[in-house]
Amino acid sequence: MLDEGHEADYAQARQAMVRDQLARRGIHDAEVLRVMGEIPRELFVPESMRDAAYEDRALPVGEDQTISQPYIVAYMSEKLEVRPGVRVLEVGTGTGYQAAILARLGADVFSVERIQSLLASARQRLETLGLECIRLCCADGSLGWPRHAPYDRIIVTAGAPEVPPALIDQLCEGGRLIVPVGRSDAQTLVCVEKRSGRTTETVLLACRFVRLVGQQGWGPPDGYD
């Protein structure tokens, strides 16, 4: 457990992150800023990296995966327009940080992760924070999570070669999907909206995520694990 002195330091670093990395760069949604100021990001990174938890960058979290930069988490959360009670599917649980933010914004969160060990750690952290309401599943999330579909919102936190059709199928009428699309080393964040059965795509910004590995993502080099 963190001692009290450390907790005060982390709380201060968190407030500075919200002010300097988020508010100053144009994140306006008061709820997103509030929740980013509440969730202890230091609990979502490996112990050896805790002092870097509030730095303006993605951090390695093991298994060749990363926790996204705070700004990108806030940006995607804002663009998702989460309101209390909205059903959100996240593809790529990773550490569980983005899922925690969405749940604290009031969403009913379903999150899919393909790497079992990451999912197990995420589950533990989320329980510690009292967020056991988040439903987690170990599977190929490029195929969505059909059992609980459709979703009002879908957020993909790994880069796909193209928008996975399964995710469009699992989106509600009036729903919104945010997904990084492009090459494996550079993508653009795309917002897909479904209205009257038709979809429109808006390009948001350049970004760089780890690969979405799966049937409707990048094929795994050496078989599926």
**Token pair belonging to 56:** 């303006």
Minimal distance, residue 69 CB to ligand SAH, in Å: 10
Is residue 177 close enough to count as binding ligand SAH by CB under 6 A?
no
Nearer to ligand SAH, 127 or 173 (CB): 127
Nearer to ligand SAH, 106 or 220 (CB): 220
Site for ligand SAH in 91-120 (CB under 6 A): 91-92, 94-95, 97-98, 112-115, 118
Exposed e or buried b per residue across 27-55, where buried means at least 16 C-beta atoms within 10 angstroms of its C-beta:
bebeebbebbeebbbbbbbeeeebeebbb
Is residue 175 close enough to count as binding ligand SAH by CB under 6 A?
no
Minimal distance, residue 153 CB to ligand SAH, in Å: 14
Which residues are identified as catalytic? 68
Place of tokens 């350049």: 206
The residues facing 143 across adjacent strands are none
Q: Reduce the DSSP state of residue 31 to 3 states and report it.
A: helix
- Pairing outcome for strands 171-183 and 151-156: parallel
Site string for ligand SAH, 61-80 (x = CB under 6 A): ----xxxx------------
CB 142 within 8 Å of CB 76: no
Minimal distance, residue 147 CB to ligand SAH, in Å: 15
Is residue 88 close enough to count as binding ligand SAH by CB under 6 A?
no
CA dist 210 and 199 (Å) reads: 25
**Token pair belonging to 80:** 């998702």
Site for ligand SAH in 203-222 (CB under 6 A): 210, 212-214, 217
Q: Contact region for ligand SAH (CB under 6 A) — 76-84, 86-94, 173-181, 184-192?
A: 86-94
Amino acid at 159: G
- Pairing outcome for strands 135-138 and 108-113: parallel
Please give the residue ranges that form the binding site for ligand SAH (CB under 6 A): 65-68, 91-92, 94-95, 97-98, 112-115, 118, 140-142, 157-158, 210, 212-214, 217
